[in-house]
Structure 1
Amino acid sequence: MSGWVVPWHPSPAGRPTLVCAPPGGSGCNRFRGWQARLGLAVSVVGVQLPGRENRFAEEHPATFADAVAAVAADLAELRAGAPLVIVGESFGGLLAYELARATGPDALVLAATEPPGNRSAAEHLVIDEQILRDLFVSGPPELRDLDEDSQEFLLDVLRRDDKLADTHVLADKFQVDCPIHAWSGDLDAVVPGHLLDGWAGYSTAGTTRRSFAGSHTFLTDLADETVPALGSLLC
C-alpha cells in the first residue's frame, strides 16, 4: 500500500472491512477509535488524502479521479474477497460514492452528503469554512486549542479539498450495484435530510434512509449509535 488508506487492525488483510472517508479539511484519525469499538473481527480503514496529518507535506492530487484511483488500488490489496462497507461524511461521501463505483462494496453509507451537482463548489466552500470556524470556537479540545497558524493550515486543506471536489465528473453510468444507506442528522442545517432523498436513483440495489438526532457532524458525534449500525452491515 502507498499510504492512501490507513488500516488500524494489526492484521487487516482478508477481514470484513469498514472503509471510512472523512469530511473536507479532515484526516482519517477521527475514525481511529472505531477499531476498538468494533473489535478485531472487523478491520477499520481510514482514507487519507495527501496534505493532512501524516501526509501533510505531500501535494494534493490533481483531480478527483486521480484520488479515487489511488485509494481503490490500495484497497484492492486489503480486500481479498472479504465483505466491504464504505462510509463517507460530507466531502468524504462523494469520495465514498466514487470508491463504491470503483470497488463494488457490499454496502455504501453516505452521511450528511448531497448527491453530486446539488450545489456549486463555491457554495460548499462558504458553508464548510463556517462549520470549521465554528469548531475552532466550540468543537473538541484538539480544535479549540489550535493557534492561528494551525487553524489557517486546516482551512487551506479544506479549500484544496473543495477545489478537488470541483473536478468531479459524474459518469454516464453513475449507479452503484450495492445498497446505499443515506444517513442524515435531524439538526443538520447544512445538508437537511430531504436533500439525501436524491440518492434514491443512484443504486441498482435500492436506497434506504435513516435519520439521527444530531447535527452535520452526527457520524462521529453519535458514534455510540452510528458505529454499531455500520458494524451490522458487515455481518
Structure 2
Amino acid sequence: MTLSLMCLPYAGGGAGVFRPWQNQPDLPFRVVPVQLPGRDEWFVQEPCTTMADAARVCADQIREAAGTGPYAVFGHSFGALLAYETVRLLASDGAPLPEHVLVSGAAAPGVGRPRMDGALLDDDAFVARLRDLVGYDHEAWHEPELRELLLPALRADLAVQDAYVPAPGPPLTMPVSVLRGAQDDLVRHEDAARWAEHTSCGARVVDVPGSHMYFTEDWPLLWKTLGTLLAARG
C-alpha cells in the first residue's frame, strides 16, 4: 500500500503550497496537503492563535485522510513544530500514528529561537524583519493587495511560534528525520540534531544545499530526499 505523506504548511502557507506535488507522476508517496484556517479556501476563517488549536485542526484532517493506511508527516519551520505537536496529539487521542516524522528547517522543540514580535511592527518592518531572519524574500510581500491577503496568516502563525512552549510528555515513538539547509543561518546543525531528544527511535539530520528556504530553489531535490528517507523508514 502506498504511504501517504501528510504535508503541514510553513508559517503563512496553506495546503495550496503542496497541491502541485500531487501532479508529480513519479513520487513514491501519496501527497496529502493539510490546511489551516485563514488561507486558501479557508481564508474567511480566523487563523489559529495557539499551537494546540492548530494541532487539533491538523490532527482531525490527518485522521480522516489516513484511514487505516500507512502514513508519514512532513512540516517545514513552523510546520515542523506543528507536525511534532500534531503527532503528540494523535498519540494522546489513541489514533493511528505515522511511521515516520520528517521535519525541516527547525531547531528541536524547546531550543531557543529568534522571536518575530510582529505585533510591535508595521507591515514594512515586519516584512523586513522576516527577510533578515530567514534570508528569503517573496515578491508578494511587496504588493499591497497581495500583502493584505497574505500577512494576516503569516503574522498569526509567527505569533503562535513566538508563544510556543512544548509541554512535558513522552517522546515520539517513531523515527524522526531532520532536513536542514546547509547554509541555514537560522537553524544550527547542533540545534537540529536535538530532535533526537524527542523520539525514542532516533533522529537523523540531513543537510541539503541551500539556506532556510532551500526547497524554493530546488523542489525536485526535496522530493527525492523525502522519497529516500521514507524508503529507508523500515
Q: Is the pair's TM-score, using the shorter chain for normalization, greater than 0.5?
A: yes
The equivalent residue for 2:103 is 110
2:156 paired residue among 155, 160, 184: 160
In structure 2, the CA distance between the partners of 1:41 and 1:227, relative to structure 1 (3 Å rule), is: closer
Residue in structure 2 matching 1:216, options 194, 209, 212: 212
Q: Which of the numbers 33, 48, 71 marks the counterpart of 1:61? A: 48
Residue 59 of structure 1 deviates from its aligned partner by 0.7
Q: Secondary structure at the match of 1:176?
A: coil
Matched residue of 1:181: which SS?
strand
CA RMSD in angstroms comes to 2.7
Q: 1:204 to 1:113 in 2, by over 3 A?
A: same
User: TM-score scaled to structure 2, two decimals?
Assistant: 0.80
Per-residue deviation, residues 182-221 of structure 1 (Å, max 9, x unmatched): 1111111222333202212111000101000111112343
Q: What is the identity, as a one-letter code, of the residue corresponding to 2:104?
A: A
* 2:54 is aligned with 1:77: no
Structure 1 position 64, deviation (Å): 1.5
Paired residue for 2:12?
Answer: 25
Determine if contact 2:180/2:192 at 8 Å carries over to the other structure: yes
Q: Distance in 2 between matches of 1:56 and 1:129?
A: 24
* Equivalent AA in structure 2 for residue 111 of structure 1: S
One-letter code of the match for 2:209? A
- Of stretches 196-205 and 71-80 in structure 1, the one that deviates more from structure 2 is 71-80
Equivalent residue number for residue 178 of structure 1: 174
- Give the conservation status (yes or no) of the 8 Å contact 1:38–1:227: no
Looking at structure 2, the residues matched to 94 and 220 of structure 1 have their Cα atoms a distance apart, in angstroms, of 20
Structure 2 unaligned spans of 5+: 91-96, 119-125
Report how far residue 48 of structure 1 moved: 1.3
1:20-68 deviations in Å (ceiling 9; x for gaps): 1121111222222222335487321112111112211111124221221
Misfit runs of 4+, over 6 Å? none
- The 8 Å contact of residues 134 and 186 in structure 2, kept in 1 or not, is answered as no
Which stretches in structure 1 are left out of the alignment for 5+ residues?
1-13, 138-142
Aligned residues: 216
Would the aligned equivalents of 1:21 and 1:47 in 2 still touch at CA under 8 Å? yes
Question: Who is 2:122 aligned against?
Answer: none
Secondary structure at 1:44 match in 2:
strand
Indicate the residue corresponding to 1:35 in structure 2: 22
2 CA distance for matches of 1:217 and 1:58? 27
Report percent identity of matched pairs: 30
Which of 144, 150, 154 is residue 146 of structure 2 equivalent to? Answer: 150
The 5 A counterparts of 1:199-210 are 199-210=195-206
Question: Secondary structure in 2 aligned to 1:122?
Answer: coil
- Kindly provide the amino acid, as one letter, of the partner of residue 181 in structure 1: S
CA contact (8 A) 2:117 2:162 kept: no
Deviates more, 1:89-98 or 1:217-226: 217-226
> Once structures 1 and 2 are overlaid, which stretch shifts more, 36-45 or 120-129?
120-129
The residue type paired with residue 56 of structure 2 is A
Give the CA deviation at 1:165. 2.5
